[in-house]
Structure 1
Amino acid sequence: MEKMLIAALQASALSRLRHPSILEMVEPLEETRSELTFATEPIICALESAIPGAGRHASLVELDEIEIQKGVLQICKGLSFLHSSAKLIHSNINPESIVINSAGDWKVSGLGLTIPLLNSDGQPTRWEFPTFDSRVPAYIQRSFDYMAPEYALDEQLLTASDMYSLGCLLYAVHCKGSPPFKTRGSLSGLRDNAGKPIPSLERLDPDLQSLLRLLITRHAAERPTPSSLPTLPFFNSLPISTLNFLDRTNFTTKTREEKISFMKGLTSVLDRFSEGLRTRKILPSLLEEMKDTHLLPYILPNVFAISNALSPQQFANLVLPSLKPLFAVKEPPQNMLTLLDNLKLLQEKTEKKVFRTQVLPLVYNALESEHTVVQERALAVVPDLCETIDYAEIQGVMFPRVALVFTKTRVLSVKVATLATFLVMVKTLDQTSLTQKLVPLLSKIRTKEPAVMMATLSVQEAMGSKVDREAVATLVLPQLWAMSMGPLLNVEQFQRFMAVIRKLGDRVEAEHNQFLRDSQRIEDKSATQTTNGSAIPSAVNMDFESLVGRANGTSVAPPLATTTPMSFSTPPLQPTMTGGSVQSTSSYTMTPAKPQAPSQPSYGGPNYNISLPSAPFGASSSGMAPMQPSTPVAPSLPAFNASSPPLFAQPMSATPPPGLGSMLTPSRPAQPTWNAQKPPGKDAWGDFDPLA
């Protein structure tokens, strides 16, 4: 029941006492029959759990000397408020009643045991020394180890008693959580330790020794007050003065000039603070002051110096939300210059997608700036971005924006800077973008300034090594020849143009020669294949069923067929005979032999009717070679018995043949007899001339 009462008193005190150094209540007390519920600001731990070397469990907060000094000063502010404004004595200052919030601030809590200086009737409150009950949790009763001796010896209620307790707390923080004296909950022990010297004091810093002797003393009047304690040498270090200046209640009262001077000097002392103190205490104060754009050039270097030690997740949660609105702020120009100088850090601390969508607009806005120095700085960071961001972003967004700056600018240094950027982007852009976008862009250059022309030459040289020979010959080289005639070029610069032109020309010559040789080789090979293919005989005119049967891998016996009679019309032959030669014409008649057995395949041949010219042929021999038909001879032909007529027999009468040009042209197309079964008769061979 007593525990519930103390908790209710503490909740009630927290709801009434509002001060930056007092634990803040965010949700009021809700009381039921079995429990009390209220909510405070987020806290990391009690000071007891953060004391280095205490040994109970791992320290949740890294406490260095600056952090301790800052925390003690914050407790002094809280005690000053309790003593002066609330008219209360805390009466239980110890490591368990001091908590550390998420910002690293030390807050006074444990207000359930506070004692008012005056009663309700205006009379001083009378002190009654409590008894220590080991059955009750320690956090709801006073700790005798941190209690001032006047409680036991003088039975007085003094605000200075809290300063004695603060001295014992400061000693315990530096001595692994052990107080200067241990009473073990005994009133007599508290009395016995009142006059003893502080143990192991020689191991501590001299300024700390002096401070502890002033606080842990039997005489309450000799102790410093909460308002006078910060003036002692122990708290006169530069880091503590820096934190005091940056405190919200103090910093808002300073002029802009004082704030600028402070921010300039802060960068040089940041390394004297612990990482936790920089992150929890200094960084939030800096981010809060970034609302003043005139202070941004001086605040941002400190923000980025602290951000170097942050993890990507911490940076995304703590810093990036405050930086995003600044990416579009173009005045003063120092803002963008500082952000661009730290672009690499922004890229390292953000995910790829977040960087593309939230940080890259900073570069695009800088390219559109009216300040030349900002544009040049933005162009200087593009080469590094080309190595890390996606090609689609470079080709679709980055290159068009750089090209727009190149087109619009009238400043020579910016023009040269864009050309230097193009030189780097040549390695990334594909051939289509180079030939269709960059080459036409460079062709529009009208200035004859040597700096621009030489920068353009470097870009053209890089492109000439990447695009194909046609683009070099038709696009790059003509531009280089025209630019080489610039009237402002000196001899060395002109020779540089000539060297590049010769280099690219040699490349075009070598590659085009190789191309022509390869083309000629292909043409020669094709011609050879065509010549060999012309000697292939024409397809044999064969039976369809037999052809199909062979194609299917089966043996099909073709039907028995007779050869179609062939009729030739020959002119009278007039051979010239030597030695009593006689000129005459001969007529030959061939009768086919009896056809072979049906088991032998027989192919029907076409019926040719060939007319020979009527003019006699002059021949040096007495005979003429027989003419061969244009179609292949059938595999098996019937035997022929030719009877030679008398040499001077009457020549056959024939119609005068047409001209020589058509002597091999058949008078009608071949008519194959597919299903002919009748053997050839005598009349079928009547017009066959074996010598024709």
Structure 2
Amino acid sequence: MDYFHKFKSTVSQVAAQVSNALPGNPLTREYDVGEQIGTAGPGLHWKIYSGKKKSTQQPVAVWLFERRDMDKWSKEDKEEFTNTIKKGVSTLTRLRHPRLLVIEHAIEESRDSLAFCTEPIFASLANCMGKRDNFSTDPSHLNDFAFHDVEIRHGLLQISEALAFLHIDARMLHRNVCPESILINDRGAWKLGGFDFTIQGTPAPNNSVTFDSTEYNESRPAVCQPTLDYLAPEYALGGKIAPFADVFSLGITTFAVFNKGQVPMRHNGRLDNLKRNADKFKSVPEACMTNIPFALRDDYKQCLNYTPDLRPDATQLTKIAFFDDPLVKTLSYFESLMQMDNQQKMTFFKTLPQVISRFEKRVLIQKVLPFLSGEFTTPDLIPFILPSVFIITEQATQKEFTSSILPSLIPVFTLQKPYQIVLLLLQKMELLLAKATEEDIKKHILPLIYNSIGSDTTRIQELCLAIIPTIGKLVDRQSMKNQLLPKLLKLATEGSVVAIRVQALMCLGKLLPTLESWMVTEQVLPVLPKITSKEPGVLMSILGIYKLAFESDKVGVGREQLAKSALPFLMTTLVENTLNLHQFEQFLALVKSMMGRVEKEQRTRLQQLSAGEEAQRGVPNFDTIAGAAATGGGDKKISSDLADIIGGAAIAPKQTGGALSLEEKKRLASEHNRNGGGPMNGVASLTPSTSSSMARISPVPASTSKVGSSMDPFDSLLISSSSSISKPSTGPAFDMNRFLSKNGESFPIRLIVSYYYNALPSSSTSSSFFPSLAPPPPSSTPTPILSSAFPPVPSPMGSVFGTVPSSMNTVPSAANPLFLPQPPRSSNTPIQRVGGGVSSLDSLLSFPSQSKSPMNALAKPLLPSSTIKSQSSNADPFADLLG
């Protein structure tokens, strides 16, 4: 049974149970009284309670004697007993020795009680052996209590040492060595008390001491005299009283310890019975030896010898073989620690783990642990003490650890120097976590880990990183955000050792399931690209974190973070030379998975947008705008935007009517004046066409050309330009044969184009397409566009065509956007015919005719009537053709 733990727990449960136990006693002003824990003294009349000093919270034992217990006694007996116990307390108060009960507060007297305070008590020896007299409640901490062998050995040794002090140093006889006078304190030490019947020695010659003989008086109350069953025979037979009488009493007490409180002979309070039984001790009966350990029997017989001088004295008794035990010596060594220097203590604590495992658990907690924790005040000794503390912790239950061991370790958790303290605690962290409660872990152990992460010792950092994943669930949000994660990330980025960086990253990966999603996305992932180490271990650890975060439904890494942060870093890492093939494939697989998710999510998002939102977000389709302009659709806004896009020629707005406004006429006149004031070459048509305007900016596919591979540049320009113009749905069909004379000679090309210009509807042609081919004014003479001075150029038709002289205007302009070559204005040289028949240029300009009807059978020219009249006054070279 866990007796010591029961004692410790019950002490703290009933702090006010006996609040009325000391009515009016001055002791209550300074001490709080708890529950009853034992009884002691003559007749067990002293009640012992747990208590604490109010000012310092120091634990004590409060001794109480209530006068009402003597209500049936005579007045003389009351006075005698009161004087006896007061004398015993006063005598003990004056004495100081480690083996004597320590008095903390002198006796206080009131009308109803007597009280004093001592060091904390577990119980009296009589209580431990089964005597429960004068208890108000059942002492649960004493149920099924039994001593261990080492406790008895060490306890008897301690009482022997106490008697040696009394006999030699104090020169006193105790006269009442019995279980009621022996107290066991909270550390398991046996202390001698009950000094009610002590006799002070008188100095004699030869440095000796004599003691007055006092016989037992049956007429007096038994509680006012020593316990008769434990007295030596000489008290009944008369004669010399010496310290050997206390040794005899210790022998009887030893018998009681090994026989559950029984004594060899009971005298029933009668002196004559003691006299009759005294002769039996001339030869100790075998019945008295049954339960005595074999190692003690010889010395035990000697203590019970009938002749006092044949008994060993107290000093000799402390040196018997029964006490020569390693465990007893170890306990004795603890008691002498105060006399050692630090070097001797270190030597002792180094060898202690080899012996400490042989102790019983209660002995370790009750007797050994207090000595160990008492040395925690010296930091240099703590690394040598902790291994023994861990052995005790392994044997303790969780309640025992929480109540007895952990309180002594709490101050140690805050120490960082010497570093071996932290190192040992971290090495045994698994044990501490298993024994401590969750509340104690959060309050005391986790701060130790937080502080240790920043240590400069690599081994301590490694231990912390190995422990943190096991305690991740116990870390609260605030501590995780402000203490744990920043320190882990700092190790991962700034760690001086690669192994620490790798382990820090692995620790972060193991913590991911316990982290909140925002901690991962806002604290962990943004730091990973900042890690400059390119060692394979570091890179693969980073990959593991990315993979866990990417695959975790709880984290939910968004496509933007993947695209802007994760993927650029991973793509860069792919080409690191430190990766082998297998590692490269792992990186590549994750990159592909991330790309797939980004593509899927972005595609889904775009598909979910409405048509109106898409139109507002996107750029208008260029083909749609161009198509709308070509078909006459759209408005001025679209036309203006398109002009801004192509940055060149303006797109003429669609006219709402046939007539020009005054402003447009002024603009055309101004352009005419800027071009030299001559014929309106390059002047925009008075009836602009959207189709011809679009033809200026529409590219011409190569497939539209029907000419061979070798072609004159000018011819190809005409053909490609004519093929890209949207032809009007109505108008005269063009037949080149109409322009051939009867003898097969062709007309000048300007006349042909001029006729074609006049024959087409106004909406299907524009001077902006052939600005240099605009019809001249009626009064002007047609000017040939080609000169015979041109050098011959091979033609695919077998004829030659002149090259363009340098004086021709080939620079693009608003009037000539298609780079068409322009003839010099001063040249009036007619076209020179080369050979007979149709020229190569004429043949290129002749289009297949769908009808053989004459030209005049087609629709009428759409030129203004005024223009037609002005032209009719001059000689028309085509008059015979037009019939």
Q: Which residue of 1 aligns with 2:221?
A: 136
Distance 2:381 2:309 in 1: 46
Q: Which residue of 2 aligns with 1:224?
A: 312
**Secondary structure of 1:227's partner?**
helix
Call closer, same or farther: CA 1:386–1:46 in 2, change over 3 Å: same
Q: Which residue of 2 aligns with 1:187?
A: 271
Distance 1:171 1:311 in 2: 34
Structure 1 residue 418 displacement after superposition: 0.9
8 Å Cα contact 2:121-2:185 kept in structure 1: yes
| Aligned positions of 1:222-371 closer than 5 A | 222-247=310-335, 250-308=336-394, 315=401, 318-347=404-433, 352=438, 355-371=441-457
The residue type paired with residue 548 of structure 2 is A
Call closer, same or farther: CA 1:201–1:321 in 2, change over 3 Å: closer
8 Å Cα contact 2:108-2:114 kept in structure 1: yes
Call closer, same or farther: CA 1:328–1:7 in 2, change over 3 Å: closer
Structure 1 residue 36 displacement after superposition: 4.0
8 Å Cα contact 1:53-1:176 kept in structure 2: no
Superimposed CA distance per residue, residues 537-585 of structure 1 (whole angstroms, 9 cap, x where no aligned partner): xxxxxxxxxxxxxxxxxxxxxxxxxxxxxxxxxxxxxxxxxxxxxxxxx
Call closer, same or farther: CA 1:215–1:432 in 2, change over 3 Å: same
Q: Which residue of 2 aligns with 1:212?
A: 300
Aligned partner of 1:95 among 171, 176, 179: 179
Q: Which residue of 1 aligns with 2:521?
A: 435
The residue type paired with residue 226 of structure 1 is A
Call closer, same or farther: CA 1:387–1:33 in 2, change over 3 Å: closer
| Aligned positions of 1:468-479 closer than 5 A | 468-479=558-569
Aligned partner of 2:287 among 199, 215, 222: 199
The residue type paired with residue 80 of structure 1 is A
Q: Which residue of 1 aligns with 2:102?
A: 24
Distance 1:128 1:354 in 2: 59
Distance 1:265 1:72 in 2: 26
Structure 1 residue 458 displacement after superposition: 1.2
Structure 1 residue 369 displacement after superposition: 1.0
Q: Which residue of 1 aligns with 2:508?
A: 422
Structure 1 residue 210 displacement after superposition: 2.8
Distance 2:349 2:596 in 1: 60
The residue type paired with residue 99 of structure 2 is S
8 Å Cα contact 1:102-1:280 kept in structure 2: yes
Call closer, same or farther: CA 1:222–1:495 in 2, change over 3 Å: farther
8 Å Cα contact 2:216-2:236 kept in structure 1: no
Q: Which residue of 1 aligns with 2:68?
A: none
Which has the larger displacement, 120-129 or 237-246?
120-129
Distance 1:358 1:403 in 2: 23
Matched, 1:85 2:172: no
8 Å Cα contact 2:281-2:304 kept in structure 1: no
Call closer, same or farther: CA 1:339–1:470 in 2, change over 3 Å: same
Call closer, same or farther: CA 1:366–1:108 in 2, change over 3 Å: same
Call closer, same or farther: CA 1:94–1:509 in 2, change over 3 Å: same
**Secondary structure of 2:578's partner?**
coil
Matched, 1:456 2:542: yes
8 Å Cα contact 2:215-2:238 kept in structure 1: no
Superimposed CA distance per residue, residues 413-449 of structure 1 (whole angstroms, 9 cap, x where no aligned partner): 1111111111112222333332332222111122221
The residue type paired with residue 2 of structure 1 is E
Structure 1 residue 173 displacement after superposition: 0.8
Structure 1 residue 75 displacement after superposition: 0.7
Distance 1:359 1:514 in 2: 49
**Secondary structure of 2:367's partner?**
helix
Structure 1 residue 88 displacement after superposition: 0.8
Superimposed CA distance per residue, residues 365-387 of structure 1 (whole angstroms, 9 cap, x where no aligned partner): 21111111111211221111212
Call closer, same or farther: CA 1:320–1:395 in 2, change over 3 Å: same
Aligned partner of 1:497 among 587, 612, 635: 587
Structure 1 residue 320 displacement after superposition: 4.3
Distance 1:91 1:225 in 2: 15
Matched, 1:485 2:572: no
**Secondary structure of 1:100's partner?**
strand
Distance 1:252 1:110 in 2: 27
Aligned partner of 1:394 among 480, 494, 499: 480
Identity over aligned residues, as a percent? 31
8 Å Cα contact 1:30-1:38 kept in structure 2: yes
Structure 1 residue 164 displacement after superposition: 1.2
Structure 1 residue 154 displacement after superposition: 5.3
Superimposed CA distance per residue, residues 323-376 of structure 1 (whole angstroms, 9 cap, x where no aligned partner): 334334222221101222344454555565554344322112211111111112
8 Å Cα contact 2:255-2:288 kept in structure 1: no
- Structure 2 gaps, min length 5: 1-78, 615-883
Superimposed CA distance per residue, residues 79-115 of structure 1 (whole angstroms, 9 cap, x where no aligned partner): 1111011111111111111111222221111111112
The residue type paired with residue 469 of structure 2 is P
8 Å Cα contact 1:214-1:223 kept in structure 2: yes
Structure 1 residue 514 displacement after superposition: 5.9
The residue type paired with residue 367 of structure 1 is I
Superimposed CA distance per residue, residues 567-604 of structure 1 (whole angstroms, 9 cap, x where no aligned partner): xxxxxxxxxxxxxxxxxxxxxxxxxxxxxxxxxxxxxx
Structure 1 residue 395 displacement after superposition: 2.7
Structure 1 residue 37 displacement after superposition: 3.7
Structure 1 residue 53 displacement after superposition: 9.6
Superimposed CA distance per residue, residues 645-670 of structure 1 (whole angstroms, 9 cap, x where no aligned partner): xxxxxxxxxxxxxxxxxxxxxxxxxx
Distance 2:452 2:341 in 1: 30
8 Å Cα contact 1:448-1:487 kept in structure 2: no
Distance 1:378 1:242 in 2: 35
| Aligned positions of 1:375-386 closer than 5 A | 375-386=461-472
Q: Which residue of 2 aligns with 1:50?
A: 128
Aligned partner of 2:160 among 53, 76, 92: 76
Distance 2:86 2:235 in 1: 25
The residue type paired with residue 272 of structure 1 is R
Q: Tell me which of the two structures has the higher relative contact order, counting C-alpha pairs closer than 8 angstroms and 6 or more residues apart.
A: 1
The residue type paired with residue 400 of structure 1 is P
- Structure 1 gaps, min length 5: 527-692
Distance 2:89 2:218 in 1: 23
The residue type paired with residue 576 of structure 2 is G
Call closer, same or farther: CA 1:15–1:203 in 2, change over 3 Å: closer
Distance 2:91 2:458 in 1: 60
The residue type paired with residue 7 of structure 1 is I
Structure 1 residue 301 displacement after superposition: 2.5
Aligned partner of 1:413 among 484, 499, 519: 499
Structure 1 residue 48 displacement after superposition: 0.7
8 Å Cα contact 1:129-1:155 kept in structure 2: no
Distance 1:337 1:151 in 2: 63
Distance 2:526 2:307 in 1: 91
Structure 1 residue 10 displacement after superposition: 0.5
| TM-align CA RMSD | 3.1
Superimposed CA distance per residue, residues 137-161 of structure 1 (whole angstroms, 9 cap, x where no aligned partner): 53x3212221112333452211111
Which has the larger displacement, 27-36 or 485-494?
27-36
8 Å Cα contact 1:99-1:107 kept in structure 2: yes
Structure 1 residue 187 displacement after superposition: 2.9
Call closer, same or farther: CA 1:197–1:298 in 2, change over 3 Å: same
8 Å Cα contact 1:76-1:226 kept in structure 2: yes
Structure 2 length-normalised TM: 0.55
Structure 1 residue 162 displacement after superposition: 0.9
8 Å Cα contact 1:395-1:429 kept in structure 2: no
Call closer, same or farther: CA 1:368–1:53 in 2, change over 3 Å: same
Distance 1:370 1:181 in 2: 70
The residue type paired with residue 194 of structure 1 is F
